[in-house]
Amino acid sequence: MQRWFNRFFPSSLSIRILLTLLFVALVPLLFFGSLATQFVKDTLNDTAEHTGEMISANVIALYQTNLQTQANLINQELKSIEQRVKTAKGFAEQLYREPHAFPMLKPVEFTREEQGYYWEDVGTTNRSNTGASGIVPLTPDLLERLSRSQYLEPFFQQSVESNRNIAAMYFILPESAWRIFPAIHLKKEVENEFFNPSIPVTSYSFYTQALPDHNPSKTIVWSDPYQDITHRSSMLTASSPVMGKQEELLGIVAVDITIDSIVQNILDTKFNHDSSFAFLINQSGDVIAIQEEGKESMSQISFTPMAEHANTSVQLPEGRVLLSAHIPATNWCLGYVIPQGAMVSPLMDQAHQEIRESGKAIVSQLSFAIGLLMLFCFGITFAMWKGVTTPLNRLLTGIHNVRAGNFKGEIPKSGISEFDQLSTSFNDMSKALEQSQNELLLLNNQLEAAIAERTEELVQRNRQLKEIEESRSALFSNISHDLKTPLTIITGYIEAIKDGLIAEDQQEIYLEKIQHRISSVNRLVHDLYELSLLETKTKSLDYSRVSVETLVNSLRSRWPSLQSRLEQTHSLLDVDLHQLYRVIDNLFENAQKYASDHPPVLKLESSSHDLYITVQDQGPGIPEEQLPFLFERSYRADKARNSKIPGNGLGLAIVKEIVQAHRGEINVRSRLHEGTSFTIRLPLVIEEYKKEGVS
């Protein structure tokens, strides 16, 4: 292979480099040029496809916008009707809540028919009239309220005549009596078997839907389409309850709208394609109205998902798209079904033609650019050939210097990136050797510093262990003293009784003293045992979840003078009531020891997250420098083990452990000659208890 290569290629290194550079430059250029041309063609094809998708999406978006506009117009119309109902509701409530402001009008003149119902024949439909079902007794109170409802007629009339969609507006009393505009000829409605006088009007859905039982917010509600109880065919009703001063039901006001008036605009919608159609469904997916073109497709389309997720588009079989828009007032859904292909086909053909023409122009320009680039490569290759030998010689000189042990010399840059990289790498290698030595020295210094720091930590730990040992020795010394003193006294009393130094009539007194001393020793031992269990976490508290209100009542039963100021009494906390009583008893006992003339005060306060319990006395106070040590074992602020005030210095240590076991904290504030207060903070919600399984 080497002989074949040497036979056909010159031996000069520079010529070989020149030929190699030309080969390396031109072959990839031609290869990538062909790839670029193919890439442009593929990109144009993808662009054409993507453009079609964008056109389709934009056309669908236009239809969706138009659909949403129609839905908004319907919703605005329904909202304007809701405003009419709201105004009528307010007027009716004022009318019956403030009857003195509205003088009585002429009484209602009812006609009673054979079937037992009553109605008012006003002789025209340009007025309102009243009526009552056959089961209603006409009491004076009912007639008076029906008469007063005449004040509603002007507003009813103005509302119906100003809005062509409103078929009727009426007020129904709970006794199944009503006033309606325009007036209805009830006798004809009964004779034509539209109206059934034996059924209370208040039993129909357009009345019951507005009642507070079904409408707790007492707002305006819309009914589903239904067959009216008069000749007016399919209806849609907006109704709202009328409430009295005591929130008693006075009746309902309502507006009837014929379904045809709402859906006519939908049925009149025109499309450019025969297979397109519009429709209207309710929130259950039932069809309210649909154009003739879509009736054959109804069985092939499921409207329920669209009713649940309005304002969406759904792809249907056969290349059709289903668009929908929500009508918030009634939770209806307005929709279009449109053939997607027929919409965008002309636009797609035009877009594809323009893309093909653009593709031809791009390929021609790319071919021209590749030719220019080839000429440029010839020039660059020749320039590289002229300058390649100089950096090679410089690199060889540098290598010889390194072999000779000279690491200080640097190879200058030649302007060719490859050789510059070799020069930089060579120079960096020399610098790296020097830097490695410096880093080694720095690591040694850091190691010495770390050893010194660790030594300081060990000294600190030894100091802490010494302090713990001193604290333990002090504790044993204090305990020994607290045990030795009463035991010595007990021994003395017993020996005195045995030696007959105490008269028989005095022995009972000394036996009580002995019993008192033994009790104090038992309390000391018990407190030490309790403190040991709490500190080692071997004593588990009996938590129970109680409300703040229950806790306050329980504390007040033990301490009637309790003062409380609470933000939330229904908040809960997990607490061992027995241990909490023990904490408060201990604080009370301490306060009474040092301030026997003034009873201590117990306060209870709360925030949004914590409960605060404070025990405050008016004793002599504690010096500020002693406050940090109060909760240490066997520490007493009087600094005397033989103080006249009894105690062993373990009470506050036990208090602190119990409070911390409740995930709380205890703080103390004191001023000399003014008194001392201890404040306990307990969290109202303690998630950690749940994780640990505390009941």
Say if residues 67 and 61 touch (Cβ distance below 8 Å).
no
Nearest to 488 by CA among 512, 518, 508, 509: 518
Q: CA–CA separation, 546 vs 682, rounded Å?
A: 13
Residue found under tokens 């005095």: 506
Residue 413 in this model has a pLDDT that exceeds 50: yes
Pairing type for strands 563-565 and 601-606 reads parallel
166: Cα separation from own chain's centroid: 43
- For residue 644, the model assigns a pLDDT of 55
Over the Cα atoms of the chain, what is R_g? Answer: 50
pLDDT, residue 641, reads 41
| Side-chain half-sphere CA neighbours of 596 within 13 A | 2
What gap in Å lies between CA 578 and CA 559, rounded to an integer? 15
Extract the tokens encoding 681.
């903070």
Q: Give the pLDDT of residue 306.
A: 59
CA distance 75 to 328: 7
Look at 20-29, 587-596, 626-635 and tell me which has the smallest mean pLDDT: 20-29
Residues whose CB falls within 8 Å of the CB of residue 151, separated by 6 or more in sequence, listed in order: 91, 95, 102, 105
Please give the residue that has the higher pLDDT: either 19 or 506. 506
Q: What pLDDT, on a 0 to 100 scale, did the predictor assign at position 302?
A: 66
Q: What is the 3-state secondary structure (H, E, C) of 329-386?
A: CCCEEEEEEEEHHHHHHHHHHHHHHHHHHHHHHHHHHHHHHHHHHHHHHHHHHHHHHH
Task: Give the pLDDT confidence of 29-55 residue by residue, as tens digits.
Answer: 677 777 777 777 777 777 766 776 677
Mean pLDDT of 121-129: 85
Quick: pLDDT tens for 630-670. Answer: 887 666 655 544 455 666 667 788 888 889 888 999 999 98
Whether the CB-CB separation of 514 and 493 falls below 8 Å is answered with yes
The mean pLDDT value of the chain amounts to 79
pTM exceeds 0.85: no
For residue 196, the 8-state DSSP code is -
According to the model, what pLDDT value does residue 252 have? 95
**pLDDT, greater one: 227 or 15:** 227
3-state SS of 231-263 is CCCEEEEEEEEEECCCCCEEEEEEEEEEHHHHH
pLDDT band at 468 (very low <50, low <70, confident <90, very high): low
Phi then psi for residue 181, to 5 deg, are -130, 135
CA 439 to chain centre: 53
Q: Which domains does the chain have, with CATH numbers?
A: 103-262 (3.30.450.20), 407-539 (1.10.287.130), 540-692 (3.30.565.10)
The answer to whether 583 and 658 are in contact (CB under 8 A) is yes
Q: Give the DSSP letter of residue 608.
A: S
Three-state DSSP class for residue 668: strand
Which pLDDT belongs to residue 551? 85
**Gap between the Cα atoms of 207 and 200, Å rounded:** 10
Cβ-contact 497, 512 below 8 angstroms:
no
Q: Using one digit for the tens of pLDDT, what is the confidence trace for 321-345? A: 878 888 888 888 888 887 766 666 6
Q: What is the mean pLDDT of residues 481-488?
A: 68
Q: 254 forms bridges with which residues in the sheet?
A: 170, 239
Give the whole-number percent of the chain exceeding pLDDT 70.
76
What is the phi/psi pair of residue 490, to 5°? Answer: -60, -45
Residue 124 token pair: 């025209």
CA atoms of 366 and 371, how far apart (whole Å): 9
Instruction: Give the closest residue to 669 by CA, choosing from 630, 606, 627.
Output: 627
At 156, the pLDDT band (50, 70, 90 cuts) reads very high
What is the Cα–Cα distance from 406 to 400, expressed in whole angstroms? 9
326, 322, 262: which is closest to 288 by C-alpha?
262
* Cβ pair 166, 160 in contact under 8 A: yes
- What 3-state DSSP class applies to 415? coil
Contact yes or no for 23/386 (Cβ under 8 A): no
Residue 553 pLDDT grade (very low, low, confident, very high; cuts 50, 70, 90): confident
Residue 695 pLDDT: 35
pLDDT at residue 437 in the model: 59
**Over pLDDT 90: what percentage of the chain?**
15
The pLDDT of residue 304 is 60
pLDDT tens across 282-308, in order? Answer: 777 777 778 777 777 666 676 665 555
Flag whether pLDDT at 5 surpasses 50. Answer: yes
Nearest Cα neighbor of 545 from 683, 656, 655 is: 683
196-205, 485-494, 549-558, 568-577: which range is least confident on average?
A: 485-494
pLDDT value at residue 40? 73
pLDDT tops 60 at residue 692: no
For the record, the structure tokens of 211 come out as 């009642």
Is the predicted pLDDT of residue 600 greater than 70, yes or no?
A: yes
Cα(303)–Cα(232) distance, integer angstroms: 28
Report the pLDDT value the prediction gives residue 640, as an integer from 0 to 100.
43
State the average pLDDT over residues 151-157: 93
Residue 3 pLDDT more than 90?
Answer: no
Identify the sign of the CA torsion 617, 622, 627, 629.
negative
Structure tokens at 305: 């998902």
CA angle, corner 54, sides to 48 and 58, nearest 5?
145
Map residue 162 onto helix, strand or coil: helix
The encoded tokens of residue 602 equal 């117990």
